[in-house]
Amino acid sequence: MKAGGDLTRARLKGAVAPEEILSLCDSNEKGFLDCDPKEGFSVRNFAIQTAKMAQVSDIVIYGEDSTDQRIIKSVAERTSSVQKKWKKHLEASGQCPETYHTYVLTDSFEEIERNHPELVAVNSRGRTTGHTMDFLQWEHVEMCAMSKSSEFSKGVYQGPSPGANLVQTCQQDEGFHVLIETNDRAQMPDEDFLMSKLNEMGQTPIHLTFPSSGSILPPSRSQSEVDSLLAMCRFIYAVTHPKSITTSGEDQDSDRDQDQIADSDGDIPMQDLSPSPSSSSSCSASIKPRTVLIHCADGYTESTLLAIAYFMFAEGVPVHTAWLRMHCDKGRNFFAYPSDVALLTSIQPRLLAESPANPANIRPAPAWLSKLDGSLPSRILPYMYLGNLTHANNPELLRQMGIKRILSIGEPVSWVKSEHEKWDRENLMMVDRVQDNGIDPLTGEFERCLEFIGKRNT
């Protein structure tokens, strides 16, 4: 246990903060953090394991080299007192508990880092060492690999916020010209503001914000919110699809007052604000296409709405096509809310009407779209997806994603007879006698399930 708190640097293997183990409430006679639910049981109980393990462990207290020794001593004394209280509590209930101890590490962190690097999880500079089984850090690595920035439309990328990930190898510096962060606190930008940013385009990256997925609710949405979403789509297209323009002192003022960012043929007139070779004469200036990163902390959760809306606008495809192509063709993982599906479906006519791709012959939406809750099954292996019951009850969507075999565990699926007839019986396995309640064992089904997975088509 690290006295002094900060676990982002100088952290030993398995180290936790005092508040993860000890109760700060004086009325708690046990001393250890009371993490059990007041009623029932906790199925997803990963968060309480640290506090549980502390009750049956020796505890070592240490601090950074700069930590006041009095703080370390105080934490050690409190921990030792709690261990004694806990033992008495167990004895009073008729148990015969083991005796556990509190130790204080007297060597400096610098000495530990030099002589025992295998014990260091995060070094003194705040970098992970990879010497420990750190599930939280593994999650960051896997999340970064799953959601790393990639181009899904010309010049437009989706990915994690630069510097947001704790893993150094996951940090990316692609030199984007525009970075649009999606978050819950962002306000809708208006077109005049975006035009001013367009005219500021230069060597320094432009940072913008946009509301996150789930922020615009179809029943209560305002026209201005939809206008802002369309304006952002036009802005991104303007940045990534500039055309050669002729600028002069007289023309620049009139162009800045333009009401529409896109012209009739889909090209975007942009201002070239670089110094003109001759201030007295007009010149032809070719503006290089620039890149845009739509980002959020995990790379997809908050940015899905804007990313799919832009894909529909730029590529001229309906919402159901955008959802499948973004995942199957572009390899993007994303998460949206049912309200996002409803919103994009309702404003689809306008997105496509203003699309520079000039779409035509848009087919009616397939039946599976009405069952889409915003998310798709997650690809966890090259040949395997992990999904929920809603996904399993949308077999046509699964077929469109290229999924040919289904293993369903838990609540039974609700398929009509015609859906069952479309699937080969050998490609379906339903284990519906096991409930996800923390009580029913699955071990008896392991062999059968693994055998089914092993028979996948190669």
Q: What is the pLDDT of residues 363-389, one digit of tens each?
A: 889 999 999 988 899 888 888 999 999
What mean pLDDT comes out for the span 221-247? 82
Block residue for tokens 């007297």: 106
Compute the distance between CA of residue 66 and CA of residue 108 in angstroms, rounded to an integer: 9
3-state secondary structure (DSSP) of residue 268: strand
Given a cut of 50, whether residue 112 has pLDDT beyond it is yes
Q: What is the pLDDT confidence band of residue 52, given thresholds at 50, 70 and 90?
A: confident
Query: What's the confidence (pLDDT) of residue 79?
Result: 94
What contacts 48, CB < 8 A, 6 or more positions away? 35, 36, 42
Name the β-bridge partners of 283.
247
The helix (run of H) or strand (run of E) holding residue 352 is helix 338-353
Compute the distance between CA of residue 59 and CA of residue 33 in angstroms, rounded to an integer: 15
Compute the distance between CA of residue 399 and CA of residue 416 in angstroms, rounded to an integer: 16
CA atoms within 13 A on the CB side of 231: 20
Given a cut of 80, whether residue 437 has pLDDT beyond it is no
pTM attached to this predicted model: 0.65
Compute the distance between CA of residue 124 and CA of residue 65 in angstroms, rounded to an integer: 10
Write out the two tokens for 31: 């001393």
Compute the distance between CA of residue 238 and CA of residue 295 in angstroms, rounded to an integer: 19
Given a cut of 60, whether residue 298 has pLDDT beyond it is yes
Report yes or no: 319 and 347 within 8 Å, Cβ to Cβ. no
Compute the distance between CA of residue 181 and CA of residue 179 in angstroms, rounded to an integer: 6
Name the β-bridge partners of 247.
283
What mean pLDDT comes out for the span 162-188? 71
The helix (run of H) or strand (run of E) holding residue 236 is helix 223-240
Q: Which of 24-33, 152-161, 244-253 has the lowest mean pLDDT?
A: 244-253
Query: What's the confidence (pLDDT) of residue 43?
Result: 55
Q: What is the pLDDT confidence band of residue 163, given thresholds at 50, 70 and 90?
A: low
CATH number assigned to the domain with residue range 145-315, chosen from the 4 options 1.20.1300, 3.30.1360, 2.60.120, 3.90.190: 3.90.190
Which residue ranges make up each domain of the chain? 11-133, 145-315, 377-458
